[in-house]
Amino acid sequence: MAFDYDLFVIGAGSGGVRASRMAAAAGARVAVAEERYLGGTCVNVGCVPKKLLVYASHYSEDFEDAAGFGWSVGPRRFDWKKLIENKNAEIERLNGIYAGLLDGAGVERIEGTARITGPRSVEIGGREITCENLLVAVGAWPFLPDIPGVEHAITSNEAFFLDELPGHVVVVGGGYIAVEFAGIFHGLGAQVTQLYRRELFLRGFDDDCRTTLATEMRKKGIDLRFGTDVAEIAALPDGRRRLTLTSGDPVECDVVMYATGRVPKVEGLGLEAAGVVQGDKGEILVDAYSRTNVPSVWAIGDVTDRLQLTPMVIAEAMAFVQTVYHDRPTAPNHENVPSAVFSQPNIGTVGLTETEARARFDDVVIFRETFRPMKHTLTGSDEKTMMKLVVDRASDRVLGCHMVGPDAGEITQGLGIAIQCGATKAQFDATVGIHPTSAEEWVTMRTPVAE
């Protein structure tokens, strides 16, 4: 049977674009459909604009810190509209780059919503298209709970396009998006309350990172409230919002932003027409090579609910192309993936948490240091940095590295290489540090934490 395309990709996010380009480079006839914007969540309402807002929000502290180094900073004024305008211009530039990459690779771009109609067919804009292989890379979408008045809340999608900076923001959620936006809004001058229904946010991260960040955020003046949730949201006549908490307490604010997780964006996709099996959350179930139960249908990225990180979906895309178009079956590696939370201060982490390590290994040794960074010896700030190594005593292998502090994400990238290579604590100790830096602490920690 002759197909219209060798590969049809639904979703032109980071994974879909990479898979399309690399498959086309291997000689495949490729088309990619996108209903919203090129670059997906990461480029448009995720990693990139969020990091730009993080940079913007940190200037308030930088201005304050400058005094300790002899700088006199004059009157300051923040312009939210200017920030959003500049952010939008940068995103538009990146959209253009993605379009150029696809066009240059010979990939056909199709604008519109694609719906799967069979194992090897899709429909888009009234056009029926056939393909030998179908790759689903549609990502995920913010989740909103079913509570009274939730229509009066926004998600991170809308937060990037607010007309003005709110005076008081309530952030609901305890994941990395929630803590990052709490820091963004606070740094830009808003009053921030963050609510989380469990006892401590950032579930799944190392406990020392979680407790350290909570302490530092409270020092900055962010109102963290754990063990509580929103029961109801009401819109007030003046445009503000009144939240009734599960404790019965009321909270009034200008904006309530939900960051309570993301769910696979599968509604209306037509997976049932191809017989693709899904999990309890709607995620597309795949094998180690990103193949579904239907041999011609594959899926990568957030829609599979494996590891929701942009570099990971790119790795999955590359593995898919190796498997299908280079006859080299390649399973993406989801272990020891370094990641960062651009909270204030940052979190950088790679490898096993202490809890995970103790569940897998008989004898785990912990090395941990908490200190005031050199910069703050003159600023007067009491912000602390925490660095932690998790080590298997039997093999001396470093199982995990965890940090809370400035530039933690930048520092952790290099540690990811060491962990991936199976570095031992002795090899860390034998490495000469760079002085004076916070990063040198990774190779100077000698005394284990007393158990």
User: Catalytic residue numbers?
Assistant: 435
- Amino acid 129 reads I
Say if residues 270 and 117 touch (Cβ distance below 8 Å). yes
How far is the C-alpha of 313 from the C-alpha of 420, rounded, in Å? 18
Q: Which residues pair with 371 in a beta bridge?
A: 385
DSSP state of 13: B
End-to-end CA distance of the chain: 67
Q: How far apart are CA 225 and CA 200, in angstroms?
A: 9
Nearest to 137 by CA among 36, 273, 47: 36
**What distance in Å separates the CA atoms of residue 271 and residue 118, rounded to the nearest whole number?**
8
**Where is 315: in which H helix or E strand?**
helix 310-325
- Indicate the helix (H) or strand (E) that contains 233: strand 230-235
Residue 413, amino acid: Q
Q: Determine the Cα–Cα distance for residues 201 and 199; give it in Å rounded to an integer.
A: 7
User: Nearest-CA neighbor of 162 among 242, 235, 88, 52?
Assistant: 88
User: Nearest to residue 210, comparing CAs of 366, 341, 311?
Assistant: 341
Cβ atoms of 43 and 12 closer than 8 Å: no
DSSP 3-state of 71:
coil
Distance CA 406, CA 385 (A): 8
Helix then strand then coil, in percent of the chain rounded to 5, is: 35, 25, 40
Question: Widest CA span of the chain, in angstroms?
Answer: 75
Query: Please, which residues bridge with residue 191 across strands?
Result: 168
Residue 201 contacts residue 179 (beta carbons within 8 Å): yes
Side chain identity at 240, as an amino acid letter? R
Beta strand 108-111 with 115-118 is unpaired
